[in-house]
Amino acid sequence: MESAGSELPSEIICSQILPRLPSKSLMRFRCVGKSWSSLVRSPSFVDAHQTFHRNKLNHLLLTTWDKSTRQQHFLSVQINQEGIPTAATHLLNLPTLSFNERLYNQAMFPHHNQANRDNLLRMFNPSTREFIVLPHVFPRCCRSAHSTHHLGFSPLTNEYKVLQVQRFQPRDSMTRRMTFMFKIFKLGTSLWRCIELDLNDLPFDPFKCPFHRRNVSVNGAIHWMHDTQNILVVFDIADEKFRTIPLPRDYNCAIHKFNFAHGNIVEVFGCLALIGDEQLTQQNMMGLWILRDYENQVWVKETFRFPFVWNELGYPVPFCSIHTGELLLQSSKLSRQHPNHVRLHLYNMKSKSFRESEIVLPSEWGFQYDTRLTLLASFEDSVVPLR
């Protein structure tokens, strides 16, 4: 029999105990020494940490722009086991040109949407507060360029990749016709790599694909809803190829989609979902088409009714799902009855009921009623290293 003072095997500590800790505690351990830092950054530890924290607690990433200092501020909020948001924590701030630049599209990936030679491209992990500046890429010999960036993960290869979509006008072109270039940056490398493809071979019209709007990354692929074709545009992270998924038969993008900047596609409990339609919202209702069976492309439609006048609360639509089994709704403006309190609306799909909750903002900020706060993303605790 082992003595009472015997120690647990280090393998048990490293694979079963430490991965259960939140990233905030693990980041403190990294300062203890090189061995601790190497452990926390090792692929096996990162995988174990993700396994223990998957679908446990959701975090929200919010942003606001300070007009006086021309700074973009980022805050995180943890939603506890009961579905109540904890007090917001300030993460970092970055200099920007204006709030309307639409700088960010992923929890880990703030980016400049309008590419020029002075903009920096940053990748950010809000759990560890680590960020890196990606190699700057600007198309040579072009008159104008517009770039969007999209982060995805492949469970097949266990790799994070950033897809860069560049739309530009060649300088030597005799016409004003634009063209595209697609590049890949794999986390852990230092260079962008061009994807060789012929635009004529794409199974969709890239000029009508809203790459600038919100996308959803699930099942090892990045997804957008096409503007004119009744399809989802899909980019597979592992094989780096485009394909399409047809929309459900009773969903027509010309009729059902909303003309919102953040788009009409959302992730619901690990599934793709489409939101619509404007005719239903006139009755304070909303439709949600969920791709329940991704492989066999089986869609299921859900309809819910708002207990309030839809447009009076800023046109709320599903933003993400959280670990309580509820949908968090996003509106064009986050409701506020106090400078340091933000009201959220949530919908329980099982009980078909709504509830409200509040986020408490840092009191030292002295938020004003006209301060614009935006939900950027929902994310899970992660210690994925960026370098």
Q: What is the DSSP string of 273-331?
A: EEEE-HHHHTTTEEEEEEEEETTTTEEEEEEEE-SS-GGGGT--EEEEE-TTSEEEEE-
Query: Considering the domain boundaries, does residue 25 fall inside one?
Result: yes
What is the pLDDT at residue 121? 78
State the total domains in the chain. Answer: 1
What pLDDT score does 92 carry? 84
In a domain, 19, yes or no: yes
Q: Is residue 167 part of a domain?
A: no
Residue 42 belongs to some domain of the structure: yes
Residue 154 pLDDT: 95
pLDDT for position 29: 75
**Residue whose token pair is 């960026």:** 386
**Is 37 in contact with 30 (CB distance < 8 Å)?**
yes
pLDDT at 161: 95
> Rounded to the nearest 5 degrees, what angle is found at the Cα of 79, between the Cα atoms of 75 and 82?
160
Domain range for 42 is: 9-54
pLDDT at residue 205, rounded to an integer: 95
Please report whether residue 46 resides in a domain.
yes
Distances (CA, A) of 308 to 244, 279, 287, 355: 37, 16, 16, 11
pLDDT in tens, the chain (387 residues): 444 555 667 777 787 888 888 888 888 877 777 888 888 888 888 888 888 877 778 899 988 877 777 778 888 999 988 888 888 888 888 776 443 334 444 443 433 344 444 466 788 888 888 888 888 766 666 666 788 889 999 999 999 999 999 888 877 666 667 889 999 999 989 899 999 999 999 999 999 999 988 899 999 999 999 989 999 999 999 999 999 999 999 998 888 887 776 778 999 999 999 998 878 888 898 999 999 999 999 999 999 898 888 888 778 889 999 989 999 998 766 655 566 778 888 999 899 999 988 888 877 665 555 567 788 888 888 888 888
Which pLDDT value is given to residue 1? 42
- With respect to residue 132, please indicate whether it lies within any of the assigned structural domains: no
344-356 burial, b at 16+ Cβ within 10 Å, e below that, comes to bbbbebeeeebee
Cis peptide leading into residue 250 (ω within 30°): no
pTM: 0.87
Q: Is residue 49 part of a domain?
A: yes
What is the reported pLDDT for 276? 85
256, two tokens: 């059902």
Q: Is residue 16 part of a domain?
A: yes
Token pair listed for 207? 């000029």
Beta bridge mates, 151: 162
Task: Using CB atoms within 10 Å of the CB of residue 128, give its burial: 0 to 12 exposed, 13 to 18 middle, 19+ buried.
Answer: buried
The answer for residues whose C-beta is within 8 angstroms of residue 163's C-beta and 6 or more apart is 149, 150, 152, 182, 183, 184, 222, 235
Q: What is the Cα–Cα distance from 363 to 371, expressed in whole angstroms?
A: 14
Instruction: Return d(Cα 308, Cα 133) in angstroms, integer.
Output: 44
